[in-house]
Amino acid sequence: MATLLRTIRSPADVRALPEADLEALASEIRSVMIDTVSRTGGHLAPSLGTVDLTVALCRVFDFPTDRVVWDVGHQAYAWKMLTGRLDRMETLRRHGGLRPFTFPAESPYDASVGGHAGVALSTALGLAAARDARGGRENIIAVVGDAALTNGIALEALNAVRHTTDRLILVINDNGMSISRNVGAFTRLLARRLSALRYNRVRAAAEAAGHALRLGWLRGAYLRFKGILKSLILRHRAAIFEDLGIRYLGPIDGHDIPTLCEALRSAAEGHEPVALHISTVKGKGFPPAERAPAKWHGVAPWASETRRESEPARPSWSVAFGQHLCELAERDPRVVAVTAAMRDGTGLAEFFRRFPGRAYDVGICEEHALVFAAGLAAAGLRPFVAVYSTFAQRAVDCMMHDVCLPGLPVTLCLDRAGVVGADGPTHHGLFDLALFGALPGLTLRAPTDAAGLVRAMDGALAGDVPAVIRYARGSVPAETLPPAPLPPGDGPVILAVGRAAAWLKPVADRLSLPLVPVDSVKPLPAGLGPDVTRPLVTAEDATVHGGFGAAVAQAVGGPVLCLGWPDDGWVGQGTEAELRADCGLDGEALVRRIGAWLKELPAHG
């Protein structure tokens, strides 16, 4: 029973607790978090690692007058609990429930949307600059973790800190992990914990001895020695921040609440920007997550009463992609793989194991991933860049300028295209067809089944142009829906792209209409030209605006009904079935909508 936690309605209640109760509060938060996520699913390991930091933040600062920006919001489950949302945690990630990330419309305590990595420091700088302009005194804190500090936006913001404000606190949550193990020189710099721990042990021993012997007269000499020792042991880590005009504190134990509170107070009292480097354990307090933090980064419900009945296992799109890329690499030495901190999520773990010299994880840097791939392609290699659709949106300019304009054979593989369910609007991959489809000189394919994915990958390798392949989250469908030509005649036809073919098949059967599965969005399937005057219905697991249907409507001479996700609002969170029902894309709604449209046409009235 979380007796302490149940008394907390706001951060002010945390400040009112006796200090001796803080560890017990953190323990209760972890217990409730594990129990909740066992029922709802979610990002468990990241949020377990920030429980103690969250308690310390609430202890030291006056929220929501002070502001904290979480990067990424999947660190913030404890934050939700301590800011008045404890009673709604059972709705986390569910239809109409709590968002999986921070979201200002959900709570005045959430300073920003926290679904994508790398933006917290820029957001915090904007809040600090606005505060300074109006003469405010509130504290602005950015909590940057899971390798987000190596993101290009974060590094741009880091460069801008000193000439933007004199008062900002950057908390670096260093757990050595993004989704997978961190990579890069900056990560190695921050991860030199052996020297840090050695320094802290020497300091602690010296302070303890001084107190025990009451050698107050040695304090001045001790402080000078401490400064020399710290500069010798930690100079490389501190220098990168201090050379940028940012005072560096740490590293400190991110699970020691009193020490965290002391460090946060020290940071708040200064008159210069501060980088507070804390060392945490991803998955802290839950042994399975501590042992396998990547596995427990984002998990499905596992409580017996919420776990779905097991179904015959089918490979996911990600696994199918990774398996075939390994086959291509065996046949063609030019094939290389690039990903942005998600080798496991995109199905590339086996490729990294089997072809380590041909696999590149660039960290949370999607723009760099594509430009890097352009360089690989320019040197004669055939890179396949695998990222989630929602994160690839950052790199549209790089795809245009560095890949498409020079016509380089880079294949961008968009995992999690379409709706992704409980992760909600920050993670739906609904805009890729409109964004990438507008770029000249590339092919864009959306396979309907596993065989289609193989054809798309083989075609991209055989071709000599930029290519985009999009595929959904979840399992490859059991039913084969190969692309087909337009049937003869002038009657109405349903054209369905990728996963939408499975949605529309029962609808087409009920309306006695032919269904044509489509896997090529650009170029359009053969036969779709101005001479086509028959009624066409298009369907896609993407936003209607600027997608496949829009291209078909522009190409043909007859009427077109475009079906897809609405472009005048954000698609929420929930199961695919719930979201389709919300947006009029479930079977009954589609039957009614298509039937009504056909009746309105002169030839079908």
* pLDDT tens, position by position, 259-302: 999 999 999 998 899 999 999 999 999 999 999 988 898 888 98
Residue, of 413 and 201, whose pLDDT is higher: 413
**366 flagged as catalytic:** yes
Q: Cα dist. 40→98, 100, 281 in Å?
A: 11, 10, 23
User: Which CATH fold would you assign to the domain 493-604?
Assistant: Rossmann fold (3.40.50)
Q: What is the mean pLDDT of the chain?
A: 89
Residue 26, both tokens? 């953190």
Distance CA 599, CA 383 (A): 49
**Residue 334 pLDDT > 80, yes or no?**
yes
Contact 514, 494 (CB under 8 A): yes
Task: Say how many residues make up the chain.
Answer: 605
Residue 314, both tokens? 């089918």
What does the pLDDT average to over 189-195? 46
The SS3 of residue 498 is coil
Sign of CA dihedral 245, 247, 252, 256: negative
- Homologous superfamily in CATH for domain 5-291: Thiamin diphosphate (ThDP)-binding fold, Pyr/PP domains (3.40.50.970)
Distance CA 218, CA 453 (A): 72
Looking at residue 271, what is its pLDDT? 87
The domains spanning 5-291 and 493-604 adopt the same CATH topology: yes
Looking at residue 193, what is its pLDDT? 39
Nearest Cα neighbor of 37 from 102, 98, 106, 84 is 98
Which among 394, 470, 473, 580 is annotated as catalytic?
394
Looking at residue 530, what is its pLDDT? 96
Band the pLDDT of 406: cuts 50, 70, 90. very high
Nearest Cα neighbor of 413 from 369, 363, 372, 463 is 369
Residue 163, both tokens? 């000439």
**282 flagged as catalytic:** yes
Least confident among 286-295, 384-393, 586-595 = 286-295
Distance CA 587, CA 581 (A): 9
Walk across the sheet containing 382-388 and list its strands: 359-361, 335-339, 382-388, 411-415, 467-470, 443-445, 520-522
Least confident among 17-21, 120-124, 215-219, 521-525 = 215-219
Supply angle C-alpha 404, 410, 414, rounded to 5. 100
The SS3 of residue 312 is coil
**Which letter, b or e, does each residue of 204-239 get, where b requires 16 or more Cβ atoms within 10 Å of its Cβ?**
eeeeeeeeeeeeeeeeeebeeeeeeebeebbeebbe
Nearest Cα neighbor of 41 from 229, 293, 306, 262 is 306
Contact 77, 40 (CB under 8 A): no
For helices 450-462 and 317-331, angle between their N-to-C axes, nearest 10 degrees: 40
Beta bridge partners of 124: none
**394 flagged as catalytic:** yes
The SS3 of residue 403 is helix
Q: Cα dist. 181→151, 350, 356, 423 in Å?
A: 15, 15, 15, 22
Contact 270, 141 (CB under 8 A): no
* pLDDT tens, position by position, 103-156: 999 999 999 999 998 999 999 999 999 999 999 999 999 999 857 888 889 999
Residue 536, both tokens? 């066409």
Contact 169, 138 (CB under 8 A): no
Residues 6 or more apart from 77 whose CB is under 8 A from it? 33, 36, 37, 42, 43, 47, 89, 92
Sequence-ordered alpha helix ranges (H) in 152-218: 152-160, 185-190, 193-213
Give the single-character DSSP code of 81: I
Domain 317-470, CATH class in plain words:
alpha beta
What does the pLDDT average to over 550-567? 96
Contact 138, 65 (CB under 8 A): yes
Beta bridge partners of 338: 360, 385
Distance CA 143, CA 164 (A): 18
Which among 67, 99, 366, 367 is annotated as catalytic?
366
Domain ranges, ordered by start, for the chain: 5-291, 317-470, 493-604
Beta bridge partners of 173: 145, 278
Band the pLDDT of 305: cuts 50, 70, 90. low
* pLDDT tens, position by position, 571-589: 999 999 999 999 999 999 9
